[in-house]
Amino acid sequence: MENQDVKTAYENAKSDIANLLGWFECELQKEPEIIQWPRVGTLNHVRQNLIETLSFLSGFETREIENSLEESRM
């Protein structure tokens, strides 16, 4: 029974993460009429939190992730 509970909890967490990523995608498609610095600051804050979360999940250093992001923009 315990193995099934842990498997269910694992699958629920994965499903929730996938749904949250979908919501992020929807939010990122919204374009404000006027882009102002506070909005840029908000996005940079979210970006940093996502980098830290990915680092925690993957084991990669945040700097490695940031370097990959910079390279993808070139």
Q: Are 14 and 40 part of one and the same domain?
A: no
Q: Are 46 and 73 part of one and the same domain?
A: yes
pLDDT band at 3 (very low <50, low <70, confident <90, very high): confident
pLDDT band at 1 (very low <50, low <70, confident <90, very high): low
Residue type for position 52? E
Q: Are 52 and 71 part of one and the same domain?
A: yes
The parent domain of residue 17 ranges over 1-30
Residue range 15-64, pLDDT digits in tens: 999 999 999 999 999 999 999 999 999 999 999 999 999 999 999 999 99
Q: Are 74 and 39 part of one and the same domain?
A: yes
Q: Domain total for the chain? A: 2
Question: What distances in angstroms separate CA 25 from CA 18, 39, 66, one per listed residue?
Answer: 11, 16, 20
Question: What distances in angstroms separate CA 42 from CA 45, 48, 60, one per listed residue?
Answer: 5, 10, 24
Contact 5, 13 (CB under 8 A): no
